[in-house]
Structure 1
């Protein structure tokens, strides 16, 4: 059949179609239709065109002399195969003998019996929960003990509602006094500090070597590291003039410092150059607010690395009918921790956190908190001018020394939190 079709007609692939332009394939759950021409089909779409999760919802209705049929592509009764496979249907133009191939979507049509849904809706209150139904049964058929327990629980519920109303009233008073934006900022900072432990890289505190505490493969798998070969070669080939221009233009000083001190040849040079490219992506990501799908493409970022960055260091936010990837406050702390751990592998288990916190555009106190949470040893260097680094002085370094340091939380910080 395929050979005959190829000899008599040609295939034409249509351009990319929207969801509303897809062809429709229907199947009937209660049997086969003998006269499809006698059925009247109507397609309904969701009115919310801005919500990406609702704009593709469709309802297909079919009318016949005896029954009505309804099918949809969402909800529990929809076909799951639409999410797992792509279907195509060919339409043959008999005049040109060209077959156009269109995207298709399947609908499972089920009969609707008149009066059945209305009668069921009358007997069932859609606002009634499972607990409400059980309480109704207890009121009608329960024992005296069950009825007393029900009455006591309802009295407690009234008291709980009164408490919630008092709390809501107090919260509104605080919002009016301090302002909503100030409160949101305080909540964001508190959550970022409290959730810092959840955003640290995987740690093996019982390792025998410093290199095994934060494994390199946890930051870049062998496949991801291999995909950075071309980008690393480009970073290693930068001339001193290009590095100076990158420094003068406000580039990441931590990256420039390592590129200026690359090993001459060998495996170490290749590793440092690839890590420098990946580190530059982390630092640039930390300075962003919302991320587009073009992030890193101009620098030659591989697709698997871009997907890793979006998956690991951003959160999805719904804004103006679109899903955006946003770098939240907690994600900035996570970027700081992963950048610090990567720099440890690049610099013999030491890192200049003064340069790093400036590249990340976070405060030095926040950077120190991240280093302490990772169990690193903090070293305060004497004030020495280092004009070649582009800063006045370098005062702090972090080193990974076994055993890891366990820092105690400051009492003053706990008192301040209580006062707030």
Structure 2
């Protein structure tokens, strides 16, 4: 096509998006040469039989049969092209009569030759392919008595290992049947969370000159997310004492109530604090759920950007009965607690009440203390009014951010040696 024809087509041609169909356009690429006559190739397309599983329903296999060899290509596995994951391809079909072009989604397939009978021979004929098997065969034929005894002993040990593996597999299947896969997964995640708490801490700037810059506020709430909380924050700021009494009667989080009672009178500071209080209450409410969906918080007027942020950063995807679930696991609950603690530091002049926070989030005080230590906070005690008994005071654990950050050493328990008499 000449340059003039290209300009004319660009001026008269109109783009027409094609309606979405189940089948995309396929672009095949042969790995061992060019196809001279593509009309003689018989193409067939196969799709995965599991149309429910979102990870398998998009799998496709293209088969091209010729007179000499069949060629096979797939969009999954080691032989697939990685460009399908990095780029998105389109194919345009131009109707010369109407000068409209339909645009279709496209996928690329790398066609590899399949030699008939090669796989069957490898599966049916069991040969001594490894070096160990060849040496064992030589020992059986020409080895000394000592070498044959060693070979027999090693094979007996291999049989014993196989029996042990079978017993372990049977015991594991019994445990899975009794507890269930989800319970075991939660136990594994909880163990990992206990072994390394630093994986769930908010972004930390250890080289910050100011204490308020150690856990940056923009990393907890970006400017766009903070702006989205304007309306819900205004509702928090407009709560009356009667509304607060009603929230107390409904057993609302104590951490949220304390900050609502101490909202500043300055308009700018009150607006900022009320937005943070609402976001804090939303994180605490999310930590009390087992599963989250993208509809969570819609009834409360939560902005969509906040819902997407919480579901994406504080849940674990799991596959269950043909659908994906966003589960709030134990590790994600610890991550929520760490972000709530960092947010409380910005809300309370770099101080936070650990006792109230661990009660509101349902986390043990020991785990909350470990979390505060992992964040390098300074721990202290403070007397506060008891909720159960009016007029009495109880001791609360407090955490404050002081530079330099505190590094806590884990003391390993050493076993005492018994003296020999």
- TM-score above 0.5, yes or no: yes
Q: Deviations over 1:204-260 (max 9, x none)?
A: 899999937x9222x7428x4312332343344231249646666665442343244
Residue among 59, 62, 78 paired with 2:61: 59
Determine if contact 1:70/1:111 at 8 Å carries over to the other structure.
yes
Determine if contact 1:296/1:306 at 8 Å carries over to the other structure.
yes
Residue in 2 aligned with 1:133? Answer: 130
Task: Using structure 1 for the length normalisation, give the TM-score.
Answer: 0.74
Q: Deviations over 1:175-210 (max 9, x none)?
A: 99xx63798599479737734634552698999999
Q: Is 1:400 aligned to residue 400 of structure 2? A: yes
C-alpha separation in 2, matches of 1:370 and 1:300:
28
What is the CA distance between 1:274 and its match in structure 2? 4.5
Residue in 2 aligned with 1:83? Answer: 85
C-alpha separation in 2, matches of 1:8 and 1:204:
57
Q: Is 1:5 aligned to residue 4 of structure 2? A: no
Residue in 1 aligned with 2:328? Answer: 327
Residue in 2 aligned with 1:344? Answer: 345
- Shift >6 Å, 4+ stretches: 142-149, 168-176, 202-210, 391-394, 407-411
Q: Deviations over 1:324-375 (max 9, x none)?
A: 2211123212322332232133212332334323432445565456556666
Residue 255 to residue 384, structure 1, CA distance change in 2 (3 Å): closer
Residue in 1 aligned with 2:419? Answer: none
Determine if contact 1:291/1:325 at 8 Å carries over to the other structure.
yes
Aligned length: 396
RMSD of aligned C-alpha atoms? 4.6
C-alpha separation in 1, matches of 2:94 and 2:234:
56
Residue 308 to residue 24, structure 1, CA distance change in 2 (3 Å): same
Counterparts of 1:106-255 in structure 2 under 5 Å? 106-123=108-125, 133-140=130-137, 153-164=154-165, 180=179, 187=187, 191=191, 194-195=194-195, 197-199=197-199, 201=201, 211=211, 215-217=214-216, 220-221=218-219, 224-238=221-235, 239-241=238-240, 244=244, 251-255=252-256
State which drifts further: 152-161 or 321-330.
Answer: 152-161
C-alpha separation in 2, matches of 1:30 and 1:175:
48
Residue 368 to residue 117, structure 1, CA distance change in 2 (3 Å): closer
Q: Unpaired runs of 5+ in structure 1?
A: 412-420
Q: Secondary structure at the match of 2:77?
A: coil
Determine if contact 2:18/2:102 at 8 Å carries over to the other structure.
yes
Determine if contact 1:384/1:394 at 8 Å carries over to the other structure.
yes
Residue in 2 aligned with 1:102? Answer: 104
Task: Using structure 2 for the length normalisation, give the TM-score.
Answer: 0.73
Residue 387 to residue 211, structure 1, CA distance change in 2 (3 Å): farther
C-alpha separation in 1, matches of 2:41 and 2:61:
16
Residue 200 to residue 100, structure 1, CA distance change in 2 (3 Å): closer
Residue in 1 aligned with 2:36? Answer: 34
What is the CA distance between 1:320 and its match in structure 2? 1.2
Q: Secondary structure at the match of 2:228?
A: helix
